[in-house]
Amino acid sequence: MLSLVVIATGGAKAGAVSQSSRTSCTGTLSAPGLLSGTYSGDVTIKGYCVVDGGPTLVRGDLTLATGSALNATYALNDVAGSGTTSLTVKGDVTVGSGATLAMGCEPNYSPCSDDPNAGTGGTLSGQNDVSSDVTANGALGVIIHDSYIKGDVRQIGGGGGLSCAPPSSGVFALLESPVFSDYEDNTISGDFQVTGVHSCWIGALRNSVKGDLTYANSSFGDPDASEVVSNVVSGDLSCTGNSPVVQYGDSDGTPNRAHEASGECSFTAEQPNPAPSGPLTPITVKK
């Protein structure tokens, strides 16, 4: 498993969102914009913004413009100095081309950006709720942990290419991390689809999917990628055309549970757990 890291603000104090229009949040990596409070309509992220100022409610859609980034991996209200932070979106979340969404955090797997115990695994969790769909077309990266999405989740195309070297600019350069996408410990009421993504690494672990899960035609530079295990899928699970194929890697995972399963995730598919020399273990078992 790729070492998961949080997206910090680089020590800069977050700037304020324009409260006059309540339609956009703008910022840079050195001076992030602050998405905080209640927004009566749609909101667009331009540049780099953080959710770190208490409960944040977007009553419309939330859109990440081309090349932008949103860090919603905070648990505390660091602006006020007390209280908690959360993100609730009543409409859709759309992640544009080259944009990066980091939403949700949890101990051990992806500690919160402001967890004082992050270095030893952390103790805090973020609270994030999307009432409709999360859709990413050509996004650079999508990292969602411990969140509740009441519609579909779709990541189509995009990624940072097969290199696992940290890029020279942008949010992943700030992290000193290769580009990756990851979905862990989420509840998804609709379908979950990842297709045509080309990046360093991807994982989908311990998610509860009420619809179908489709993972197809994606390739990654890290041979440890494609850790699509430990999920509970109420519908059908289909995995085809991926490189590497779906595997356990070093995830310490368990077989997926699904109503029906096919391809790399079929009931007859087996992989070493852990890779590369652990006992052959079914990728999926009947739910």
Kindly indicate the confidence band of residue 11, based on its pLDDT and cuts at 50, 70 and 90.
very low
Domain boundaries, the chain: 29-151
Using the 8-state DSSP alphabet, how is residue 53 labeled? S
Query: Can you tell me the distance from the alpha carbon of 136 to that of 152, in angstroms, rounded to the nearest whole number?
Result: 11
For 244-273, the pLDDT digits (tens) are 999 999 999 999 999 999 999 999 999 999
Among residues 174, 178, 113, 175, the alpha carbon closest in space to that of 140 is found at 178
φ, ψ of residue 119 in degrees (nearest 5): -65, -20
Which residues face 195 on adjacent strands?
156, 216
Please say if the pLDDT value at position 20 is more than 90: no
For 119-131, the pLDDT digits (tens) are 999 999 988 999 9
Residue 47 in tokens:
């540049």
Q: Please state the separation of Cα 53 from the chain's center in Å.
A: 21
The overall pTM is greater than 0.85: yes
Q: Which amino acid is at 212?
A: D
Q: Are 54 and 81 in contact (CB under 8 A)?
A: no
257 by DSSP, 3-state: which?
strand
For 61-118, the pLDDT digits (tens) are 999 999 999 999 999 999 999 999 999 999 999 999 999 999 999 999 999 999 999 9
Q: Are 151 and 134 in contact (CB under 8 A)?
A: yes
For the chain, the C-alpha Rg in angstroms (whole number) is: 18
- CA distances for 25 relative to 17, 41, 69, angstroms: 5, 13, 11
**pLDDT at residue 116 in the model:** 96
Burial 169-181 (b: 16+ CB within 10 A, else e): ebbbebbebbbbb
For 169-226, the pLDDT digits (tens) are 999 999 999 999 999 999 999 999 999 999 999 999 999 999 999 999 999 999 999 9
Query: Can you tell me the distance from the alpha carbon of 133 to that of 92, in angstroms, rounded to the nearest whole number?
Result: 5
**pLDDT at residue 127 in the model:** 80
User: How do 280-282 and 270-272 pair as beta strands?
Assistant: antiparallel
Mean pLDDT across the chain, nearest whole number?
A: 93
Using the 8-state DSSP alphabet, how is residue 120 labeled? G
**pLDDT at residue 3 in the model:** 45
- Helix, strand, coil % over all residues of the chain, rounded to 5: 5, 40, 55
Please say if the pLDDT value at position 19 is more than 70: no
Q: Length of the chain, please?
A: 287
Among residues 169, 118, 127, the alpha carbon closest in space to that of 148 is found at 127
